[in-house]
A = this chain, B = another copy of it.
C-alpha cells in the first residue's frame, strides 16, 4: 500500500479496549512514533506521510480475572481477541500491536491463528530494548495477572536481564491503583498507589530501570514525586515504535 508520499508503507493494526483510555493513548503514541521516524529519516512530516492504521476497541472480558479462573474458557478474553484480530486481518494489515500487557498471555494463540500477520510482543520488544542498553536487572510493575503468567520474567530472562518484582502487598497496591484509580478516572489515587510501590522497591533494590508493565501505569506514575529521578520504561512507547518500524520498513 502506497502512502502517496513516495515511499511504500504497510497498513498496521492496533487491538485495544483493554482499557479504552490506554488504547486511545496508544494511538497517540503510534502517531508520535511515526513523527519521530519521519524526522529521523529525513522525510517531511505531513498527513500523507503516515501509514494507514486501524484501531479496534472492543468490549473484551477482564484479563486478570480470567487468569484467576479459566484462561481458555468461553467467558475469557481469548475468543474476543481472536474475533477482533480476524477483522483486522481482513482489513489487510501486516502487523498488529495489542494495547494491553496482560493480554499478551494469549499472544502465542493469536500469532498461531494468524500466521499471515506479525503480532508484536510487548514484553519481548521491551526486553530487547533494555538488552541493547546493557541492562542487567529491571523492576517490573504490572497487574497480578501479568505476574502470575511470568510474561516479563520470561522475556527478560531470555535476554539475560534479572526481573525484580514487588511483594504481595505491593501487588495489591498496584491493583488498587489500576482498578480503583486509572480505570475509574481517579488519577490522584493511582499516582499515590504506584508511587508507594516504587518507593518500597527502590529502598530494596536501588537505582535500576523500572518497566511500567501495564498500559494504565504510565497514565499516573510519572506524576509521582517518587518517580522524578527514575529511568521509567514505557513498554507501550517501545511497542508503538516497533509498530512504526513495521509500517515503514517491512
Contact = CB atoms under 8 A, between A and B. Distances in A.
A143 to B, nearest CB: 13
Interface string A102-115: 00000000000000
Contacts of A52: 17, 56-59
Interface string A11-27: 00000011111011101
B25 A28 contact: yes
A215 to B, nearest CB: 11
A24 B20 contact: no
Interface residues of A, number: 40
A158 interface: no
A226 interface: no
Copies of this chain present in the complex amount to 2
A54 B56 contact: yes
A50 B220 CA distance: 21
Contact of A18 (B3, B47, B58, B91): B47
Nearest to A25: B28
A7 B92 CA distance: 32
B27 A31 contact: no
Contacts of A3: 59
Nearest to A48: B59
20 contacts: A4-B59, A18-B47, A19-B50, A20-B50, A24-B27, A28-B28, A31-B57, A35-B185, A47-B59, A47-B60, A47-B183, A48-B59, A49-B59, A50-B57, A50-B59, A51-B59, A52-B57, A52-B58, A52-B59, A54-B57
